[in-house]
Structure 1
Amino acid sequence: MNHSTTYPIGNPGQPWDESHKTQWLSNQSIQRSYLEEVLSKLAVLPDCLDKSEYGQLDYVNNVYPLYLVKNRQWIDGAPIFLVTGGVHGYETSGVQGAIHFLLYDAQDYIDKVNILVAPCVSPWAYETINRWNPHAIDPNRSFFSPSPARESALLMNALAPYLDEIICHVDLHETTDTDNSEFRPALAARDGKVNHNWNIPDGFYLVGDTHNLQPAFQNAVIDAVEQVTHIAPPDNDGKIIGVPIDLKGVINYDKKALGLCGGMTNASYVTTTEVYPDSESATPDMCIDAQVAAIRGAIDFVIGQENI
């Protein structure tokens, strides 16, 4: 792994104070539209789906409504399949993959299971192509109570009534070249630490849960995605992003301990997707297709495994 000790904001070895966070925020700008790229698509959902607002984020003179989408005809007692996208707003295919699934794929499943989708958890970060929210907080390290990130707190509150029935959770993410060029250096600077970049893997991989490995499930998702795009090989040390691989294209994190979105439920089957959009072999549509393949692969496996 490579490392760098400098970032344009802050002083090496010293965590940011509020003035540094304000300086960081002043450097951010709107680069795309949540209204046009997300809300307009959710306005034309199939008739079999329904959306509900679960909160709003009032950030930097903008108000962002947040939505959950589910079966219009909810099946009492049926297992729930949860999909989350855009916990990190810059990870485009997570958001667009969730939306694509809703528009074109969800209707294949809603006669037997319940679908619950939060397509864009962090809309300000989506518009500014960021990992953090405006307070320099990472929502994907904030899924615990009380949460420092309003994005995380609102979603956890919205999902609280469903937690006992969620059987599967697929959290859609990307690993990008900007992880090394911007986001990891910014993280190290914010926390007053030395930055250690990881080797960016060329291809798709999954992050499972250290305490709930489910290897057959993870393999089924990898197999489904491999029909769409290539799976990331390990680096020369047998690792992906510095973590030893457990299965082909699969590493594991302690999701609850790290406050990850994938750890907020007690679902039996949990995985986090990681698409690599900067690959020479990838296109935006291919990245979206990979996310959809992961969702479908996960649902198909669980339906078969649990005889639903």
Structure 2
Amino acid sequence: MTEVTDRTPDYAETLRELPTEEGVLRYHEVGDGPPLLLLHGSGPGVTGWRNYRGNLAAFAEHFRCLVLEFPGFGVSDPTDEHPMAAAPKAVSRFLGGLGLDRVDVVGNSMGGIVAVNLAIARPGLFRRIVTVGGIGRNLFGPAPGEGINLLVDFTENPTREALVRWMHSMVYDPAVVTDQMVEERWTQATDPDTLAAARRMYGRKAIAAGFAASEASDRPPYWAMLHKVTAPTLITWGRDDRVSPLDMALLPMRTMPSAELHVLPRCGHWVMIEQQAAWESAVLAFLTRPGDEA
């Protein structure tokens, strides 16, 4: 099993730039039809292209696929903000710049959190939502989970060995992690600006500060407001996810009024890569289902 298929669109031919008042946003555009926004996750060397390049051929048969690169990850112009704080603003600038006021969205991990936060703040922005792991909160296991702890280890001491350990925690089958994937991730993850942004998210001090701020805040966390996400939502999850364990899915599955949960076996956090065909089938069936609008 590999991350890239023979049908993968060309990187350079699909790359686009959108100048905004906060810097250039870069993205990939493939296909025609209703707009489908794809939001990537976090982690060393991540990009939207690496998250979704294997899925674009299937989705582009039905949708105008727009793969946004969040600021702070080495592709779009950098940001001095915490990347998670900058991401929803980037989505709003991006959709505004393209003249889009209603889209379908697929969000992987961090991208899913960004999507549901926007759905809470801006009802009607998304016609339908697909998430891949990540949303909700740990109910039965400790937080942060194994994969997050390995991510912190790499961020604090970025060695190739630490990167491979983290990448193996993202999958059920270690063979999915190829030498090509490791090299791609290593090159970008160790870029000084990208590494600095990662430390604002996943350095030990940043993690500790985030937990402390959450405990001290009177503002409800996003997972306590998921009942406000009214758009039909497909929650997809790997049964063997070691980054965001499956028990996290119980809260959004129960509290989001129009949510359904699809769990894929023999699959870790990278659902769209490790169970590509099965995931694409479930997502396309959901996105193209007649009716069922919010």
TM range, smaller chain: 0.3 to 0.5
TM-score (norm. length: structure 2): 0.44
Higher relative strand content: 1
Looking at CA atoms only, which structure, 1 or 2, has the larger radius of gyration?
A: 1
